[in-house]
Structure formats: structure tokens, C-alpha cells
Chains A and B, each alone.
Chain A
Amino acid sequence: MAQYRRIGVTQNNDVAIVSFNDKKILDEASIQELGAELFGLVEQQKMGDILLNFTNVEFLSSAALGKLITLDRKVKASKGRMKMCNIRPEIFEVFQITKLNKVFDIRKDETEAMTAFS
């Protein structure tokens, strides 16, 4: 089983539910590590359906957004699906301002997201 430092991963049916260990995702080194762990879910672990649960996350810099964009692209390229949930209003505002809410499938909570997967 893979060991992760920046994320926690659980399975629900065939969906990999990912939580974030850091409340503030802004440090360059952490973001690099986070990116590597997220990409590994697709590239090494071959997980098709991924749900990113942002419950813990209080802050996100634009460098972190970049990793999410790259992850989304990798998931789509491998014919998988990625959704996000439990994003705080101030962080959701960042997605809206940058129009990334048009790129990402963002749901209110895990229940809504899991329904959308099925």
C-alpha cells in the first residue's frame, strides 16, 4: 500500500476519496510533493475515479491550482473522472474568479459527489 505525506486516500466503491493533510497549501516544496502524490494515484495506482475532499483546506495558492489542473488533465487523458467537494466559500471564490469552476466538477459534499459518480 502506498504511503502518503500530503494526502489521505480511502476507497468508496470504486472511487478514491482524497483528503489533504495540510490546512494551508502554499509552500513550494509541499506543493511539489502533493502534485507527485496526486499524479501517482492516476499514473501508478491507476485509479480511475477520484474525489478530492477539501474539508481541511483553509488556504490554496495559485501554484496549487496548477497541480489540480494538471491532475485533472491526467485523469481525463486516462478516461477517468475527477470531482471535488467540501470547498470553503473563500476558496470556491478563487475557483470562480479564475473560471476554474468551468474546468473542475465541484460538488457541495461527498454525498452529492458520490451520487454524481454513479
Chain B
Amino acid sequence: MTESSSHHDSSSDQAAWQKSLDLPSERGASRLIMEELLDRLGEHGWAGTDIFSIHLAAEEAIVNAIVHGNKLSADKKVHVECFVSPTTVRIEITDEGDGFKPEEVPDCTQDDRLEVPNGRGVMLIHNFMTRVEYNEKGNRVLLEKVRDT
């Protein structure tokens, strides 16, 4: 696993934390980044409710990359890049799969899908972050949250 991180403090910039690393495509691998991400959010003054939202969105996105993107293949990695400042969080997640079309994910809130056990991750991600962008192939997602002022 490769990783790099930096803690950047400057009088002219906002203090920020950045980290990038590769996760193995195993269930539970999000724990390799999540605790640190949540700690940094707290240190940068993010409120508990925002931390919950970011945690949930990041967890769902990483699980999707591992399970749906990389199909739990041992030879594939999920690349995660995080940025945390007092006002902005950005998490970019890239898998090595064939991509998907987010617009083709069925609406899990339709009556005939409400009792399906799966299929809620993408919707929760969009709901809890202020901006969600995919690359054209659909194997990379950027989650961004800007703090309400």
C-alpha cells in the first residue's frame, strides 16, 4: 500500500490536511483511512452532524468501489485522496473497474423498491455531500462538502 500525507499550515492559507493512499479491494478496507479522516474533520472544527454525513458518504463510496467497481479482486486497488480544511472536505475515490452510469441506478425510494435490501448507497452519497462528480467512465467519484457558514 502506498500512502502520502501532509499537514500544511500557512499564515496566508487555511490550515489543511491531505492524504492519498491505495486500499485493497477487501470488505472493511475503509477502516484504513476512515478513523484518520474523522479525526482530522474534528480537528478542523467540523460539527458532529457533518462528520456523520461525510463518514456515511465516504463509507458508501468506498464500499461501492471495492464491491461493485473492483468486484473484490485481490489484484485491484481503490485509490483514495482526501483533503480537509476548516471549510471544505474533498474525497476522491477511484477504482480499477469498468465504471458505471450513475443515472442508471434505480430510484430506491420508489414503492416497488423500498423493500429491496440494497441499492441505497449512491442516493445517500448525493444527499449528504454538497457536490458529487463522476469522471466520464464512471470509475472515479469526487465527494465534496463545503461547510455552511
Contacts and interface: CB of A to CB of B under 8 A. Distances in A.
B114 A94 contact: no
Looking at chain A, what size class is its interface with the partner chain?
A: 20 to 34
Interface in B9-50: 27-28, 30-31, 48-49
A67 B117 contact: yes
A58 B48 CA distance: 11
A72 B63 CA distance: 24
B69 to A, nearest CB: 16
A61 B63 contact: yes
Contacts of B30: 26
A59 B114 contact: no
Interface stretch (A5-13, A42-50, A96-104, A110-118): A96-104
Nearest to B29: A28
A61 B60 contact: yes
Contacts of A63: 63
Contacts of B28: 27-29
A70 interface: yes
B146 interface: no
B120 A26 contact: no
26 contacts: A26-B30, A27-B28, A27-B31, A28-B27, A28-B28, A61-B56, A62-B118, A62-B124, A65-B117, A66-B117, A66-B118, A67-B117, A69-B116, A70-B117, A89-B49, A90-B48, A90-B49, A90-B52, A90-B53, A94-B124, A97-B123, A97-B127, A98-B109, A99-B114, A100-B114, A103-B114
Given A59-B55, A67-B117, A90-B49, 5 more contacts: A26-B30, A27-B31, A61-B56, A98-B109, A98-B123
Interface of B: 27-28, 30-31, 48-49, 52-53, 55-56, 59-60, 63, 108-109, 114-118, 120-121, 123-124, 127
